[in-house]
Amino acid sequence: MPEVPAPNEAVDDPVETAQQVLPVLVDMPFHGALDSTLSYLGPALPPGSLVRAPLGHREVLGLVWDAPSDDLVAPGQTLRALLGTLDPLPPLPLAWRRLVRFAASYYQRSLGEMALSVLPPELRKLDPASLTRRLRRKGGLGSAPAPTDAPQTAARPEPTEDQAQALAQLAALQAREPGGTALLLGVTGSGKTEVYLRRAEEALAQGRQVLVLVPEINLTPQLEARLRDRFPGRLLVTQHSGLTPAQRLRHWLAAHLGQADLVLGTRMAVFSPLPRLGLIVVDEEHDASYKQQEGARYSARDLAVYRGRLEGVPVLLGSATPSLESWRHAQQGRYALVPMRQRVGQGALPQVRLVDMTQQPQAPRGQEPPPLAAPVLAALRERLERGEQSLLFLNRRGFAPVLHCPACQWKSDCPHCSAWRVFHKLDRTLRCHHCGFSDRVPRACPSCGNPDIQPVGRGTERLEEQIGQWLPGVRVARIDADSTRLKGTLEQQLSAVHAGEVDILVGTQMVTKGHDFRRITLVVAVNPDGALFTTDFRGPERLFATLMQAGGRAGRDAEAAARSELWIQTWNPAHALFQSLRRHDYESFAAAQLAEREMAGLPPYSHLALLRVEARTPEAAQDFLALARRDAMAWVEAQAAEVTVYPPVPPYLARVAGLERRQMLLESGSRPALQALLRDWLPGLRGLRAQTPGVARWALDVDPLGI
């Protein structure tokens, strides 16, 4: 892309002529009234330079972009001058700018919004002088890392046969296709992390940087510890939303300046500027957390693959249950499939047992049923006698999903959402998990005054309490979003589990991924059936992955693997999903799901976009989408494009935080056709909002994960 021309030195007025017209990105939403690329006067700066720019009455962070300067000024236009440049920082590299440009284009966001939103927020507050002080601060990141006598690589275990074969396949792929993508299909406990570490070791030995992505913050501590132990002489930084603004800036600077050797982070880390990038690892690549759900709704996994091809570096996707999109790419040869079918130590996968709840005796009328079926309680007692640990998986936090009045049928609904408020017994609150509205539990039914209001259903709080009652003396711990709210509590609870101070661990999905619990030999899925019959076509795929991951927490110690079990309490034991799960047969499950998707014309055999709108009234939301559909249908007819625009419908939660929600699905077998429609159609939605004043906001989700 063309450079900004150098200023002319042979001039009479050097101050005036030193100023050039520069294209500068500022953070403005796609559906704002102005373009996010604005023209300013400033010194000759290369693309990628960070600057301070005036915008209205504000001073904002800007980014010099790639564009010819002679196309930026309209006749008679007066330009404002930049207020300063962040000179201490090198420009953001071309590869980073290309990644941002692609993400903005594909996910239909403005360049400025995409580029500026992925930078550390603290950069917006800094001027050149304050940035220089930070870089020069004692112990800061403005100079090269201090030399160390520590070894660059610690002692490492010998690879298993599966690991050695996987490493050989990956090395051959890199030699054949430097920017190739590999799907590491490894059963739980097969040692995928060791493969990541060996590949990282090779990249570091070549003087390159390594980017490792994990789906959730709670998975970073243990992987960070393994990376630090393995590479004690290397600078490792993390990138996730749990960092303070100052920490995030410091770690980002280390990556951008080339000082960090390893970057470990959640989805935001895919945009880390890395001048020496040599390897990208995406752990648990199937996880929905890689998809951003606010603002620019990008998929970090898909952008990681694109970045690898863009920069010519290998990308390693790891999972025991890959997403069906990645699995199909591997079947088609677009990704190299690298299988790892044996656990470390040749340990067996847990035996899957189905408990048919329709055959279990019911509790007498007026008595509370036991938390678990009799065979499951017996299996728990057996583990307690042997001094082993058990995991109870229930993906529902709180004490009970709803409070109910048996006299008048009142339920604890949320006044702001079409959802129930969840009963939390520990702090005696009714809390909406969607809008956050919370109040005290009423002493009596607010509808009829009946004092006998009862909890219905079971959450992790209630399960924890009931297990303590049914198994007196047992040491029970609970890990969910409520019990780990305070900083450091998750690490403390995990340490207690690893140290053997816990007999039974009750947890949500937080504990089913990535954790290496050596003493757990029994996992119980308490109530998984709800996902079988969801309206979302991805429900079975998510449930299968979750149960496989949960079961994988059992028997990770080779000596205990033979007696490890996964028990599933279900009302539908004959369901095909459970039958595939009993055989640990991901491939047959994936084949059946892909066949269903192909017949229904669903992803990965089609491409989707979802237009969501929130409004003060249902009529305003419906009217906005009706006008949007009219314009989209007109485009489809004019272009004779194969795109289906479905009528607007309410989502599962039709009201959240007092706003009515509606959505409209667009579907096409051709990705280019869908992208062309979105590119031409979206700018006109600004005007439609003016015609429906009740609309609060609208957003487009390309490749949505949930419908």
Close Cβ partners of 591 (under 8 Å, ≥ 6 residues apart): none
What is the chain's percent helix, strand, coil content, to nearest 5? Answer: 35, 20, 40
> What does DSSP assign to residue 413?
B
Q: Which residues in 487-522 are b (16+ Cβ under 10 Å) and which e?
A: eeebeebbeebbeeebbbbbbbbbbbbbbebebbbb
Close Cβ partners of 293 (under 8 Å, ≥ 6 residues apart): none
Q: Which two tokens stand for residue 320?
A: 């025991």
Strands 607-615 and 659-668: antiparallel
Annotated ligand binding at 405? The verdict is yes
Annotated ligand binding at 212? The verdict is no
How many Å apart are CA 220 and CA 226, to the nearest integer? 10
How many Å apart are CA 8 and CA 72, to the nearest integer? 19
Residue with structure tokens 């711990």?
477
Is the distance from CB of 467 to CB of 392 less than 8 angstroms? yes
Annotated ligand binding at 408? The verdict is yes
Is the distance from CB of 686 to CB of 269 less than 8 angstroms? no
Residue 476, strand partner residues? 504
Annotated ligand binding at 482? The verdict is no
150 HSE (CA, 13 A, CB side): 16
How many Å apart are CA 65 and CA 289, to the nearest integer? 30
Annotated ligand binding at 273? The verdict is no
Task: Choose among 531, 539, 500: nearest CA to 517.
Answer: 500
Whats the size of the chain, residue-wise?
A: 707
Q: Which two tokens stand for residue 190?
A: 């097969």
Q: At what angle do helices 300-311 and 94-106 cross, to 10 degrees?
A: 140
Annotated ligand binding at 395? The verdict is no
Q: Which two tokens stand for residue 663?
A: 């959505």
List helix spans (H) across 512-616. 539-551, 576-582, 586-600
What is the number of other CB atoms lying within 10 angstroms of the CB of residue 56?
Answer: 7
Residue 39, strand partner residues? 23
Q: Which two tokens stand for residue 672?
A: 């280019």
How many Å apart are CA 521 and CA 554, to the nearest integer? 5
Residue with structure tokens 């570490």?
197
Helix (H) or strand (E) holding 96: helix 94-106
Annotated binding site: 405, 408, 414, 417, 432, 435, 445, 448
Annotated binding site for Zn(2+): 405, 408, 414, 417, 432, 435, 445, 448
